[in-house]
């Protein structure tokens, strides 16, 4: 199938910052005819992160203070329209891998800094969508290799802190995982009921119910522990049992607290603690609370701390590496060899192509690591990660809280997928998490 057109434009993400949208059109033959063709278009939008790993593929920005405070992406858009389009229009590719490898070769840098990972990923995802449409199949089937499809547990970020909120909570994400359900549909209902129960509790306590970047509430609380305790109260209020029906996942975004070989906690007191001190906090929390997943429990540059964390907690909880791995197969292999973590967070724009993302997922599975699919704080209405989660049988994903359209878009797409799959859709449940 020949590419007939590639076009990109500058659009907006959920924080009101520019990002890249791409459209790829391909000429696909009509069934039963070798001569009559139809133009099939695929469209995608690239998300953007606030809490980012140092080794992520380069998100190309204009750095022109006269446009969007320097955050414009006209350079990346032009790279699609003037370089990628000129090279690829009129060409045929035999697979997703072939076009993605051609994009990587065209850029020619190890971190996609020439064309920009945002330019490359926009084309990669749009091509996947166009091919899926041309083959008359949904995206999750196009990306699937096993013939099996798993509906994930939605890990909903109900309280925001850290860089995702202007409050006094140190840790970035407090998530609920409604796993004791027969289906994704019932799981999301449980999560939404708990989300609304939490809002009423916060209101009653006199706390703000304004939300952060990912839709979670962002109140000023008395302590980090209070964030956990108020969520447990909400689970009870919604009629569920913590641990049995709904468990917790924590992403403290430890890299954001790492300064000069120690961690700076507590926004008010700026207390400094060592890796061993932070490990004691996590060990205590896991013993005290129904936490089944800890993401970025140590900073990306604290490999020794990560090793301590893994050695002590790897048989108790899922330990997910985000900043430390950056969805990069080479870095993940280094972590596997060093015995770091037992799970990897998957973000398409950290690595920059659909193929490399799936390569990382396959590497993780071959080495008995879990994969936790993730959105970014600067999200869009694009629902690719919903299809990717089902296609790769990851079993759990995070795409934000129980509100905001760019977050709910993923939930609604998963509800559609579950309907389409019917009885063949298997809900992951608690088994999606390591050591559960």
Note whether 355 and 124 are within 8 A (CB): yes
- What angle in degrees, to the nearest 10, is found between the helix axes of 96-107 and 354-366? 110
- Residue 170, marked binder: no
- Residue 251, marked binder: yes
User: Catalytic: which of 214, 256, 318, 418?
Assistant: 214
- Residue 204, marked binder: no
- Residue 173, marked binder: yes
- Residue 295, marked binder: yes
Give the burial class of 423: count Cβ atoms within 10 A of its Cβ; 0-12 exposed, 13-18 middle, 19 or more buried.
exposed
Residue 266's CB is within 10 A of a number of other CB atoms, namely: 15
301 contacts: CB under 8 Å, gap ≥ 6: 54, 255, 258
- Residue 377, marked binder: yes
3-state helix, strand, coil in the chain (%, to 5): 40, 20, 40
- Residue 396, marked binder: no
Task: Please give the helix or strand (H or E) that residue 23 lies within, else none.
Answer: strand 18-29
DSSP per residue, 176-217: EEE-SSSSHHHHHHHHHHHHHHHHHHHHHTT----B-TTS-B
- Residue 164, marked binder: yes
User: Catalytic: which of 347, 406, 418, 434?
Assistant: 347
- Residue 112, marked binder: no
Q: State the DSSP code for 230.
A: H
Strands 258-259 and 262-265: antiparallel
- Residue 43, marked binder: no
Note whether 292 and 436 are within 8 A (CB): yes
Length of the chain: 436
Q: Is 214 a catalytic residue?
A: yes
Residue numbers in the known binding site for (2R)-2-phosphoglycerate are: 172, 347, 376-377, 398
Residue numbers in the known binding site are: 164, 172-173, 251, 295, 322, 347, 374-377, 398
Residue numbers in the known binding site for substrate are: 164, 173, 295, 322, 374-377, 398
Give catalytic residue positions.
214, 347
Residue numbers in the known binding site for Mg(2+) are: 251, 295, 322
């Amino acid at each position: 199938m020949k590419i007939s057109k590639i076009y990109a434009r500058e659009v907006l993400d959920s924080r009101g910052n520019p990002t890249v949208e791409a459209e790829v059109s391909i000429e696909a033959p009509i069934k039963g005819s070798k001569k009559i063709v139809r133009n099939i278009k695929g469209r995608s939008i690239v998300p953007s992160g606030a809490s980012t790993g140092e080794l992520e593929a380069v998100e190309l920005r204009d750095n022109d203070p006269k446009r969007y405070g320097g955050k414009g992406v006209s350079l990346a858009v032009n790279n699609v329209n003037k370089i990628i389009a000129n090279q690829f229009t009129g060409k045929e590719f035999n697979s997703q891998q072939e076009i993605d490898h051609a994009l990587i070769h065209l850029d020619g840098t190890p971190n996609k800094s020439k064309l920009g990972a945002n330019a490359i990923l926009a084309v990669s995802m749009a091509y996947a969508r166009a091919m899926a449409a041309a083959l008359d199949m949904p995206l999750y089937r196009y990306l699937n290799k096993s013939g099996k499809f798993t509906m994930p547990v939605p890990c909903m970020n109900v309280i925001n802190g850290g860089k995702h909120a202007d409050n006094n909570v140190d840790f970035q994400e407090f998530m609920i995982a409604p796993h004791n359900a027969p289906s994704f549909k019932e799981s999301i209902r449980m999560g939404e009921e708990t989300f609304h129960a939490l809002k009423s509790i916060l209101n009653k306590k006199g706390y703000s119910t304004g939300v952060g970047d990912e839709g979670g509430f962002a109140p000023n609380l008395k302590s980090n522990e209070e964030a956990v305790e108020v969520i447990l109260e909400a689970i009870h209020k919604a009629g569920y049992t913590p641990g049995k029906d709904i468990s917790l996942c924590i992403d403290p975004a430890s890299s954001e607290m790492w300064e000069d070989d120690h961690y700076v906690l507590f926004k008010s007191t700026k207390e400094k603690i060592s890796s061993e001190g932070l490990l004691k906090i996590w060990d205590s929390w896991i013993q005290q609370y129904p936490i089944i997943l800890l993401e970025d429990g140590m900073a990306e540059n604290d490999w020794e701390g990560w090793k301590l964390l893994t050695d002590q907690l790897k048989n108790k909880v899922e330990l997910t590496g985000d900043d430390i791995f950056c969805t990069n197969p080479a870095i993940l292999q280094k972590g596997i060899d060093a015995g770091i973590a037992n799970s990897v967070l998957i973000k398409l724009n950290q690595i920059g192509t659909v193929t490399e993302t799936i390569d990382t997922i396959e590497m993780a599975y071959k080495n008995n690591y879990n994969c936790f699919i993730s959105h970014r704080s600067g999200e869009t209405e694009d629902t690719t990660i919903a299809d990717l989660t089902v296609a790769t049988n990851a079993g759990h994903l995070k795409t934000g809280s129980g509100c905001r359209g760019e977050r709910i878009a993923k939930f609604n797409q998963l509800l559609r997928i579950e309907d389409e799959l019917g009885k063949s859709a298997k809900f992951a449940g608690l088994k999606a998490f390591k050591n559960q």
